[in-house]
């Protein structure tokens, strides 16, 4: 590379970073602060400067990058935005912008220029985020364990979310948010829990709710996988070190499948959320007349449901839609599918596709042991818990309702208790046996590698297989005619016992700091550790010490099992020396 091109390459990178920082600063000022006329002009100048630098960087890339096919693959979206700018100027010059007026009014955009600046700034900031996978590679080069990298990514996202929620426009005027409450809310959103100390519907503005929604999406998908996928979609790719790290974090068995699985995770997530939003848009029709507000509520609840977060823009969650199958069944379906795990969904879809191509005959793709275990336990726990809830509450908590609404309540609460956190009734109306059963469901959770929490269904399945092997006197643990490795059994025991110890200590501390009843405290602790988000009313009344304890529980619940499992894998080494055996009486 000649010196002239080296200087141009450096200038191009500086322009890209500067454009991203200016665009980000413009976003923070415009949507985070209450600005006067001077502030609005400053934001507009920042946006124009960001777009100008971006176009200069694009022009430099046009000169440097060869062949053209490579340039189009990498910067096709950028060229599209440049074309949008040219189209905007032409529309303004020829007076043809009026046909866009209904679209602009729907999204509260004042002009075509503002629309372009918003889209361009989003792209510029996203283009800067594409370089984040290089940080993944840096972590891999430093031999940082996947569990630690996962923890660092979530801690960073929580810190950023806390700062964004502290912006003045995130909350109503005259109702400032304390730093501890911002940390609690950001942790609850990133860890897709749903516990709240301030009402999401009334004590956060639209900007604040959008920040929470963004944190839910990033927390559900994982910032590492999302930025890596963004890099793939923009034609930049990810290196071997990044793939190795993501392989361990996402529990993908084959290194070569990382790119394909990343694309599947993001595309399937957005497709499921889009379908759920469309169904909820129709379901909310009777309750919300304004189309724009209804679309916003539908998108918020679709994302929150698929990510198993439990946040709602209704103050009473979904109590107002009790018995409304169009809403409750859509939300239940989203959270069930979101809780299966992406590897399970990918395997199931490949199996069904293979069977369809085979004309109904045997599919060339086999269902894995994990898929069969997760699907079987998901169906079993849903059916069993629905029947138990219906039997326990038919003449108690569900009394006075039609039988169809009682079944709907039982199914929805059975589905959401596993990890989602929505509710269609006041949980304090339920009996103690029903609440105890819900605690067990919260502890178990859903599938591994999903947006759900808990110890995971596979952990329970492996422990059950281990107990069965012990009861039958078998030397090995078997599941679906397959022998499980000893490491998997030890990992399941570690996750199960570790989570019980952590939640037990947290219950003890909460009983000291809060002075609440035992059932309410146990329910709160298991809800936080299982990243569920249900509460019997204790969360808003938590003391500062209690909020710190629950915040730590939510963080540990989202990361604990994964971190412990990966830590165990990283430490497992075959010893060259065997120690003498010893007999210890058990039981």
Q: Which of 59-68, 241-250, 458-467 has the highest mean pLDDT?
A: 458-467
Q: Higher-confidence residue: 448 or 336? A: 336
Range scoring the smallest mean pLDDT among 30-44, 158-172, 379-393, 439-453: 30-44
- Residues β-bridged to residue 477: 484
Query: What 8-state DSSP symbol labels residue 531?
Result: T
Range scoring the smallest mean pLDDT among 56-60, 66-70, 459-463: 66-70
pLDDT at position 65, please? 63
- Residues β-bridged to residue 376: none
Residues 417/442, Cβ–Cβ less than 8 Å: yes
pLDDT at position 273, please? 94
**What is the rounded average pLDDT for all residues in the chain?**
80
Looking up tokens 């309702």 gives 401
Tallying the residues shown for the chain, one arrives at 587
Q: Quote the percentage of the chain above a pLDDT of 70.
A: 73
pLDDT at position 222, please? 65
Give the model's confidence band at 548: pLDDT under 50 very low, under 70 low, under 90 confident, else very high: very high
pLDDT at position 99, please? 46
What's the token pair of residue 327?
């809403």
pLDDT at position 199, please? 93
Residue 566 pLDDT greater than 60, yes or no: no
pLDDT at position 333, please? 95
pLDDT at position 234, please? 47
Q: Higher-confidence residue: 564 or 391? A: 391
What's the token pair of residue 73?
């693959």
pLDDT at position 83, please? 65
Most distant CA pair in the chain, distance: 91
φ/ψ of residue 478, rounded to 5? -120, 150
pLDDT at position 100, please? 52
Range scoring the smallest mean pLDDT among 224-233, 339-348, 373-382, 466-475: 224-233
Residue 168 pLDDT greater than 60, yes or no: yes
pLDDT at position 298, please? 96
What is the per-residue DSSP string for 406-475?
HHHHHHHHHHHHTTT---SS-GGGS-HHHHHHHHHHHHH-S-TTSS--SS-HHHHHHHHHHHHHHHHT-S
Q: Higher-confidence residue: 391 or 46? A: 391
What's the token pair of residue 81?
């935005």
Query: What 8-state DSSP symbol labels residue 99?
Result: G
Q: Quote the percentage of the chain above a pLDDT of 90.
A: 34
Range scoring the smallest mean pLDDT among 33-37, 137-141, 420-424, 435-439: 137-141
pLDDT at position 19, please? 75
Q: What is the pLDDT of residues 235-244, one digit of tens each?
A: 455 555 555 5
pLDDT at position 154, please? 82
pLDDT at position 263, please? 78
Q: What is the pLDDT of residues 40-55, one digit of tens each?
A: 888 778 877 877 777 7
First-last CA distance in the chain: 73
Give the model's confidence band at 264: pLDDT under 50 very low, under 70 low, under 90 confident, else very high: confident
Tell which phi-psi region holds residue 473, choosing left (phi > 0), alpha (psi between -120 and 50) or beta. left
Residue 2 pLDDT greater than 70, yes or no: no
Give the model's confidence band at 366: pLDDT under 50 very low, under 70 low, under 90 confident, else very high: confident
Residue 148 pLDDT greater than 50, yes or no: yes
- Contacts for 35 with CB less than 8 Å, ≥ 6 apart: 29, 42, 43
Range scoring the smallest mean pLDDT among 55-69, 85-99, 260-274, 551-565: 85-99
Q: Higher-confidence residue: 563 or 234? A: 563
φ/ψ of residue 479, rounded to 5? -150, 120
Task: Give CB contacts under 8 A, 24+ apart, made by 105-111.
Answer: 106/291, 106/292, 107/292
Residue spans of alpha helices (H) in 167-310: 179-190, 206-221, 223-233, 240-249, 258-283, 291-306
The Cα–Cα gap between 523 and 307 comes to 21
Cα-Cα-Cα-Cα torsion 548, 549, 555, 558, nearest 10 degrees, comes to -150
Q: Using the Cα atoms of residue 479, residue 482, residue 486 and residue 491 in order, give the sign of their dihedral.
A: negative
Query: What 8-state DSSP symbol labels residue 285?
Result: G
Give the model's confidence band at 98: pLDDT under 50 very low, under 70 low, under 90 confident, else very high: very low
Range scoring the smallest mean pLDDT among 70-84, 341-355, 439-453: 70-84
The Cα–Cα gap between 527 and 310 comes to 11
The Cα–Cα gap between 432 and 385 comes to 15
Average pLDDT estimate for 256-278: 83
Give the model's confidence band at 573: pLDDT under 50 very low, under 70 low, under 90 confident, else very high: low
Q: What angle do CA 46, 47, 48 make, to 5 degrees?
A: 90
φ/ψ of residue 222, rounded to 5? 95, 125
What's the token pair of residue 38?
């001077």
Residue 213 pLDDT greater than 80, yes or no: yes
Give the model's confidence band at 342: pLDDT under 50 very low, under 70 low, under 90 confident, else very high: confident
Cα-Cα-Cα-Cα torsion 322, 325, 331, 337, nearest 10 degrees, comes to 140
Q: Higher-confidence residue: 201 or 487? A: 201
pLDDT at position 568, please? 45
The Cα–Cα gap between 7 and 1 comes to 10
- pTM (2 d.p.): 0.84
Q: Higher-confidence residue: 263 or 296? A: 296
């Amino acid at each position: 590379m000649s010196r002239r091109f080296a200087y141009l390459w450096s200038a191009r990178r500086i322009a890209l970073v500067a454009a991203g920082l200016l665009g980000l600063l413009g976003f923070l000022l415009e949507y985070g602060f209450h600005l006067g006329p001077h502030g609005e002009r400053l934001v507009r100048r920042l946006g124009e400067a960001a777009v100008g630098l971006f176009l200069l960087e694009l022009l430099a890339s046009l000169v440097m990058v060869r062949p053209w096919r490579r340039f189009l693959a990498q910067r096709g979206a950028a060229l599209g935005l440049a074309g949008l700018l040219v189209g905007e100027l032409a529309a303004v010059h020829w007076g043809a912008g009026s046909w866009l007026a209904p679209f602009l009014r729907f999204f509260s955009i004042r002009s075509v220029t503002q629309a372009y600046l918003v889209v361009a700034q989003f792209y510029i900031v996203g283009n800067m985020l594409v370089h984040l996978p290089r940080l993944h590679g840096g972590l891999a080069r430093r031999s940082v364990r996947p569990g630690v990298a996962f923890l660092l990514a979530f801690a960073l996202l929580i810190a950023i979310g806390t700062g964004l929620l502290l912006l003045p426009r995130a909350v109503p005027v005259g109702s400032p948010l304390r730093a501890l409450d911002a940390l609690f809310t950001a942790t609850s959103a990133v860890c897709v829990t749903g516990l709240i100390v301030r009402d999401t519907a009334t004590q956060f503005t639209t900007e604040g709710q959008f920040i929470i929604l963004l944190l839910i999406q990033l927390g559900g998908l994982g910032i590492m996988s999302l930025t890596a996928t963004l890099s793939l979609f923009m034609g930049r790719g990810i290196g071997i070190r990044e793939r190795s790290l993501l392989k361990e974090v996402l529990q993908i068995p084959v290194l070569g499948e990382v790119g394909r699985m990343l694309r599947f995770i993001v595309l399937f997530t957005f497709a499921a959320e889009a379908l759920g939003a469309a169904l909820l848009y129709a379901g909310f029709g009777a309750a919300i007349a304004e189309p724009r507000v209804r679309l916003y509520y539908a998108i918020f609840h679709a994302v929150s449901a698929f990510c198993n977060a439990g946040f709602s823009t209704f103050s009473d969650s979904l109590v107002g839609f009790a018995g409304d199958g169009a809403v409750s069944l859509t939300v239940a379906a989203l959270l069930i599918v979101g809780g299966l795990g992406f590897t399970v969904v990918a395997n199931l879809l490949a199996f069904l596709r293979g069977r369809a191509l085979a004309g109904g005959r045997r599919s060339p793709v086999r269902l894995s042991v994990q898929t069969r275990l997760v699907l079987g336990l998901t169906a079993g726990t849903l059916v069993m818990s629905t029947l138990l809830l219906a039997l326990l509450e038919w003449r108690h908590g569900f009394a006075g309702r039609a039988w169809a609404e009682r079944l709907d309540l039982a199914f929805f609460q059975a589905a959401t208790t596993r990890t989602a956190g929505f509710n269609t009734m006041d949980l304090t109306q339920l009996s103690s046996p029903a609440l105890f059963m819900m605690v067990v469901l919260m502890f178990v959770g859903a599938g591994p590698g999903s947006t759900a929490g808990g110890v995971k269904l596979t952990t329970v399945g492996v422990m059950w297989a281990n107990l069965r092997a012990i009861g039958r006197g078998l030397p090995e643990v078997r599941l679906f005619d397959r022998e499980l490795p000893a490491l998997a059994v030890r990992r399941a025991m570690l996750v199960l016992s570790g989570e019980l110890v952590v939640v037990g200590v947290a219950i003890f501390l909460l009983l000291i700091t809060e002075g609440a009843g035992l059932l309410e405290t146990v329910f709160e602790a298991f809800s936080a550790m299982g990243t569920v988000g249900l509460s019997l009313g204790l969360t808003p009344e938590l003391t500062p010490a209690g909020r710190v304890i629950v915040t730590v529980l939510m963080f540990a619940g989202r990361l604990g099992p994964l971190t412990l499992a990966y830590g165990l894998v990283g430490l497992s080494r075959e010893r060259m020396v065997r120690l003498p055996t010893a007999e210890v009486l058990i039981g």
